[in-house]
Amino acid sequence: MSTADLVERLAQHRLIGSAPRNELEWLAEHGSARNAEVGDLMSHRGEPVEGMYVLFSGRLALFVDRGAGPVKLVEFQAGDVTGMLPYSRLVNAPGDSIAQERVEAFELHRDLLPEMVRECNGVTSILVHHMVDRAKLFTSTELQNEKMVSLGKLSAGLAHELGNPSSAIERSVCLLTDRLEECEAAMRELQAARLSDSQLAATDAFRASCFARRSGPPRAAMEQVDREEAIYEWLNKRGLNTASAPMLAETEVTFDALNALAAEVSGPALNAVVRSAASRAAIRNLTSEVQSSSSRISTLVMAVKGFTHMDQAMVADRVNPGTGLNDAVTVLHAKANERSIKVEIELEAGLPQLSGFAGELNQIWGILLDNALDAAPEGNGHVKVTAQHEMQRLVVRIIDNGPGIPAEIQSHIFDPFFTTKPMGFGTGLGLDIARRLVRHNDGTIEFETEPGRTEFRVTLPVASS
């Protein structure tokens, strides 16, 4: 394409066609035509962007790989300008730019952009305004993609976290049927025994021992096995039904209580008393487990609802920071457990409310806590979340005992698409978006790091009373 033809094509361009003719001529003299067939790469992820591209025809799409295959981030069409723009901080391509249709374009090498700024004031002004619009487009697209990635992580963790209590409920309900049948049979046997008043008193004392609440931590696995074997031997020695041993071992019944009962009741009547008490205790334990598991599910659902604020409009309002922080810890509990990381939360009593966007604040806590869990060492990791009221500001700190952030990358950690995580484990957008959301809520975000301790600190203004 000749220089004259390039000038005419540039003059007809939707975006820069209104620039002065002499500036379009300067572009045509210093740039060149560039064509691309379907599937051709205009720029490659991680490599320097060669220059500015003015699209005359065709479609060009930017694909970013989040680890599950390339995803289209944004598309450019005839009339758009992409690539390196004046005053842009873009250095390396965040993804692959691939032609979706045959592309006809004008290319100006990146080394000529400073000269273009000096010689072409009209073109530069147009492109700077365009860059602001492009930044808004990228911001909204990145934010939506990061939300989807966060939602995917949350869904995976929530499915795992809900699986445990739901399985416990299913298991307990199945066992309840057997235990109820056992209890009915034992009660019929007990009625036939026709116990005396003293035997009934001993039976009541024995049941009270079985139904006593446990004090202290749960028994260790080996301790529980030893206890079950000892009760089995006690029952077997007296010719009683040893099937009650596992159920009795789960209670707090003592051997003193067993011996006291055996001193008053013997034979088939003793078997009936032990059998009925054991089955009733098992039913109590199973119903307690169903109640506990149901409560856990309810807590998780409420935490997720509060964390996402799925039923509230995105408007600034008075926000309780403690609720959001607790919800973030709850919804990421599964990840902490999976990596055997201890999470400690320490909130100052009577924290003041914030004036901000609850959903955005919760996304901040989720990003920072998720990063801390990734940084903390698996098996002996520790993450601490604190919040204090300091001088009309709320200060939230999220601290991990990971290796720290290397000095050479500390200046880049808030840059979009910058990540130290392996492919598929990070988008490089989390901290960039967290900083934007903090600023949108009139706050600041800072960090301090050294080997064995990294602290991210978010400071936000409290709501006026």
The whole model's pTM is what?
Answer: 0.46
What pLDDT is stored for residue 13 in this prediction? 94
What are residue 71's phi and psi, to 5 degrees?
-125, 135
CA–CA distances in Å: residue 389 to residues 262, 337, 351, 463: 62, 30, 6, 12
Helix axis angle for 221-237 and 255-264, nearest 10°, is 10
Is pLDDT of 283 > 50? Answer: yes
What pLDDT is stored for residue 28 in this prediction? 93
CB 428 within 8 A of CB 416: yes
In whole angstroms, how large is the CA radius of gyration of the chain? 34
Q: In the chain, helix, strand, coil percent, each to 5?
A: 55, 20, 25
What pLDDT is stored for residue 381 in this prediction? 93
Tokens of 308: 């996402």
Closest by CA to 371, choosing from 324, 418, 408, is 418
Distance CA(355)–CA(150), nearest Å, equals 24
Structural domains for the chain: 3-119 (2.60.120.10), 157-298 (no CATH), 309-461 (3.30.565.10)
| 79-135: pLDDT as tens digits | 999 888 887 777 788 788 999 999 999 999 999 999 999 999 999 999 888 876 666
Note the helical H segments in 339-394.
358-375
CB 29 within 8 A of CB 4: no
| 182-219: pLDDT as tens digits | 888 888 888 888 888 999 999 999 999 988 887 777 78
User: What is the layout of strands, in order, in the sheet containing 81-83?
Assistant: 32-36, 103-109, 51-57, 81-83
Report which of residues 425 and 283 the model is more confident about.
Answer: 283
Confidence of residue 169 (pLDDT cuts 50, 70, 90): confident
Report which of residues 167 and 383 the model is more confident about.
Answer: 383
CA–CA distances in Å: residue 195 to residues 183, 200, 202, 284: 18, 6, 10, 24
Which amino acid appears at position 21 of this protein?
A: R
Is pLDDT of 286 > 70? Answer: yes
Closest by CA to 117, choosing from 131, 105, 104, 106, is 131
Distance CA(171)–CA(263), nearest Å, equals 37
Q: What is the DSSP string of 62-109?
A: EEEE-SSSEEEEEEEETT-EEES-TT----B-SSEEEESS-EEEEEEE
3-state secondary structure of 341: strand
The proportion of the chain whose per-residue pLDDT surpasses 90, expressed as a percent, equals: 37
Distance CA(205)–CA(182), nearest Å, equals 21
Identify the helix (H) or strand (E) that includes residue 353: none
Give the chain's mean pLDDT. 84
What pLDDT is stored for residue 309 in this prediction? 53
| 399-427: pLDDT as tens digits | 999 999 998 888 878 776 555 554 344 44
Is pLDDT of 465 > 70? Answer: no
Task: Find the mean pLDDT for residues 9-38.
Answer: 93
Distance CA(383)–CA(454), nearest Å, equals 10
What pLDDT is stored for residue 311 in this prediction? 44
Q: How many CB atoms sit inside 10 A of residue 117's CB?
A: 15
Number of residues that this document lists for the chain = 465
Closest by CA to 374, choosing from 330, 341, 411, is 341
3-state secondary structure of 444: strand
What are residue 389's phi and psi, to 5 degrees?
-95, 115
Confidence of residue 147 (pLDDT cuts 50, 70, 90): low
CB 25 within 8 A of CB 7: yes
CA–CA distances in Å: residue 381 to residues 377, 378, 396, 433: 5, 6, 20, 25
Task: Find the mean pLDDT for residues 54-75.
Answer: 80
| 241-276: pLDDT as tens digits | 898 899 999 888 999 999 999 999 998 999 999 989
Confidence of residue 46 (pLDDT cuts 50, 70, 90): confident
Out of 14-28, 290-304, 338-352, least confident range: 290-304
Task: Find the mean pLDDT for residues 22-42.
Answer: 93
Q: How many CB atoms sit inside 10 A of residue 114's CB?
A: 10
Q: What is the DSSP string of 19-66?
A: S-HHHHHHHHHH-EEEEE-TT-EEE-TTSBP-EEEEEEESEEEEEEE-
Distance CA(365)–CA(387), nearest Å, equals 12
Is pLDDT of 154 > 80? Answer: no
What pLDDT is stored for residue 399 in this prediction? 96
Distance CA(369)–CA(380), nearest Å, equals 16
3-state secondary structure of 300: helix
What pLDDT is stored for residue 427 in this prediction? 42
Query: CA angle, corner 170, sides to 169 and 173, nearest 5?
Result: 80
Is pLDDT of 437 > 90? Answer: no
Tokens of 102: 């045959």
Distance CA(61)–CA(72), nearest Å, equals 7
| 334-387: pLDDT as tens digits | 788 888 999 999 999 989 999 888 878 888 898 899 899 999 999 899 999 999
